[in-house]
Amino acid sequence: MWRNLWLAVLLGALAFSCAAAEQKGDARPRRLALVIGNASYEDHSLTNATRDAAATGELLSRLGFEVMTYENLDRARMNEAVHEFNRRLAAGGVGLLYFAGHAMQVGKSTLLLPVDAQGSPAAPITQGIDLNGILAGMSVPRSDQVNLVVLDTCLNNPYDPANVSIVQPPSRTIVAYATAPGTYAADGTRHGAYTAALLRAIAQPGRNMEGVLDDAARFVSHATEGRQVPWIAEGPAAAASEFQFAPSAAQASDSGNDHSRSTTATETVVAFQSRGILRKDSNEQYELTFWESIKDSTYPSDYEAYLKAYPNGRFATLAHARIDRLRASAAAPKAQSQTQTQPEHARAAAPPASSLMAPPAPAPAEKSVAASPPPTPASKPALKTAASTAGEIKDCATCPALVALPGGTFEMGSNSDDPAERPVHRVSIGQPFAIGKYEVTVEQWNACADASGCPRIDIEGNPSKSTPVHNLSWDDAQVYVKWLSKTTGKTYRLPTEAEWEYAARGGTTTTYWWGNEMRKGYADCKDCGEPWRKDSPVNVGSFMPNPFGLFDMNGSVWEWVADCWHSSYKGAPADARVWDEAGCPMRVIRGGSWPDGGAYMQSSTRFKYSASVRQSQNGLRVARDMK
């Protein structure tokens, strides 16, 4: 199904783009493709997925796409590939995502499986990458926007076969599936049945999308004797009927040569259920196996995974009870531990933990670090000692520690090849403000959740209380700062993008706050040296602070800021105010995250994400006014 959809989407996008360009008298719009083939699964390896991705990538390249092709990606690398794809797609044009590998449809979630998302019944749910999050990143408005997604995979639900539902994609987006919801996709001798059909159909020049899809569906039906039915989902304004395939003469000639015909011949089906996760037992036994694998877990996320798989399962009531018990036991000792571990200088300025919901006694405005930057930090990672916390602002026992920064002027942006960071422009910060010394931690977020001020956030694994909270949407971040404001009587908010970069640079003008070259030991990223963990960020404060005394401004988690996303700095404010728009759907994130490479650690790095969508690498750092 994915394969049929891919062909249709491709054909439609190409024809639509070419027609629009001809009307304007311009060259056809830019086209960018992310192609992923995952085959090396430990439990259920695939024979053709990487070959399918390679053939698809080669064809797209001949059709004028810039192609990013990857094979056998684990979860961290797959997330990184999607982030890079969306970053490059922001420049405009047609965006096409092709995925061949294992997937499943659990409720309304299409979960694409990295190669490390196996090993237990719960792993596909906890490690799978939700298509909804990918589509949110692709849906940011841009010039010549057409979004095409092709999934050559099964859409079965191994837990509850009846619990499958395809949702409508975002605007100007088409998702093509190789098979119908709840069913399987077949494999041939060299390619999947659907990919082979698409490659064959697309070799016929001059066909519109409907014709190509009809041909591909007919090829698949003939090869599978009617057992596989491709599926398509269209978002608003997708204008599928306007898509047509119109290759150049050179492309038509190339796609009709002997080599193309030899690689796109009809496939002989050798496996009808190759691309889905198959149960080895009955429905009842598989559910029991799932439960047995988690029943002694101390992680709420494992029980939440069970409930996602079996919302009405035989152990659903027990799973809810376990979640409630684990969260209650984690919250019970907080008041005592916070009192025991609070530094003396901070304890005097903070209210007792038991009075968290009442506004604390106002702290003096001067209770902040000095206006001048602190000395250059030592070469070793800073530890949380009394010296490192001197002068910080704490408005309550569980509030984030703040550092007060003076106003000033700096050059914002960079002259890199990323148009989103240009042009470099001078910004004046007219008033002092306070910003989080660290990113908001799991413990601090949970204090809000315990007070019924914030939603519970599902974070994979068993993060420590000092891990930066992540898997947050911009809307979640707004809920948290509003709760802080209500609790403390102070005006908490997200920093503006200008304030964030001013704070991140720490008075420097170099690429990174530590210089113009990437160095290990300065940030939490996959190329940044130890400490580093593949599956989650390390504890806040594990690396050296920047010259303003702020930790983890580079790496760790992407940090939401207040501003609406704009694709460049043209027209940006010359001061520190929020650059906003009414009804803004996409907001800015800054700083990079732990699975990202070193290039994302630059002080000027900026990206965007849908304001209402949670993403596992997105967190926050708070700011507040000093008035």
pLDDT band at residue 356 under the 50/70/90 scheme: very low
Query: What average pLDDT score do residues 52-70 get?
Result: 91
Under 8 Å CB-to-CB from 321, ≥6 apart: which residues? none
- The answer to the question of residue 132 being in a domain is yes
**How far, rounded to the nearest angstrom, does the alpha carbon of residue 192 sit from its chain's CA centroid?**
28
Q: What whole-number percentage of the chain has pLDDT above 90?
A: 40
Quick: pLDDT tens for 548-581: 999 999 999 999 999 999 999 999 999 999 999 8
Residue 461 lies in a domain: yes
Q: What are the CA-CA distances from residue 287 to residues 28, 240, 279 (Å)?
A: 51, 40, 10
**pLDDT the model gives residue 467:** 95
In a domain, 551, yes or no: yes
User: What does the longest C-alpha to C-alpha distance in the chain come to?
Assistant: 81
Confidence band, pLDDT 50/70/90 cuts, at residue 22: very low
pLDDT at 39 over 70: yes
- In the block, tokens 């979004």 appear at 147
How high is the pLDDT of residue 331?
Answer: 61
Confidence label for 465 from pLDDT (cuts 50, 70 and 90): very high
**Domain identity same for 509 and 476:** yes
Note whether residue 498 is domain-resident: yes
- The pLDDT confidence band at residue 247, using thresholds 50, 70 and 90, is low
Out of 263, 292, 308, a domain closes at: 263
Identify whether residues 416 and 517 lie together within a single domain.
Answer: yes
For residue 451, the domain's CATH number is: 3.90.1580.10
pLDDT over 90 at 441, yes or no: yes
> Do 208 and 176 fall within a single domain?
yes
- Which string of DSSP letters, residue by residue, matches 207-220? -BHHHHHHHHHHHH
Token representation of residue 584: 């803004």
315 with 238, same domain?
no
The model's confidence at residue 5, banded by pLDDT at 50, 70 and 90, is very low
- Judgement on whether residues 467 and 572 belong to the same structural domain of the protein: yes
Residue 378 predicted with pLDDT over 70 = no
Region 349-362: mean pLDDT is 30
Same domain, 428 and 316: no
Residue 67: pLDDT over 90 = yes
199 within domain boundaries: yes
Domain that holds residue 26: 2-263
Say yes or no: 47 and 192 in one domain.
Answer: yes
Q: Is 270 a domain residue? A: no
Q: Looking at the domain assignment, is residue 467 inside a domain?
A: yes
Asked if residue 29 is part of any domain, the answer here is yes
CATH of the domain at 134: 3.40.50.1460
Residue 62: what pLDDT? 85
Most confidently predicted of 277-291, 311-325, 378-392, 459-473: 459-473
Phi/psi zone of residue 536: left (φ > 0), alpha (ψ -120 to 50 degrees), beta? beta
Q: Indicate whether 85 and 202 sit together in one domain.
A: yes
Q: Are residues 90 and 216 in the same domain?
A: yes
* 59 and 139 together in one domain: yes
Residues 396, 545 contacting (CB under 8 angstroms): no
Angle, helices 2-24 vs 193-202, to 10°: value is 30
Residue 362 has pLDDT above 70, yes or no: no
What pLDDT was estimated at residue 473? Answer: 94
Same domain, 563 and 503: yes
pTM of the model: 0.53
Among 162, 146, 165, which Cα is nearest to 94's? Answer: 146
Element (H, E) at 274: none
Task: Please check whether residues 484 and 611 belong to one and the same domain.
Answer: yes
Mean pLDDT of the 504-528 span: 93
Mean pLDDT score of the chain? 79
Whats the size of the chain, residue-wise?
627
Beginning with the edge strand found earlier in the chain, give each strand of the sheet holding 129-130 in spatial order. Answer: 103-106, 109-112, 129-130
The confidence band for 625, taking pLDDT boundaries of 50, 70 and 90, is very high
> CA-CA distance, 621 to 627, in Å (whole number)?
19
Distance CA 147, CA 136 (A): 11
Domain count, the chain: 3
Q: Which tens digits make up the pLDDT trace of 324-350?
A: 888 777 665 544 444 444 433 333 333
Alpha-carbon gap, residue 178 to 228, rounded angstroms: 8
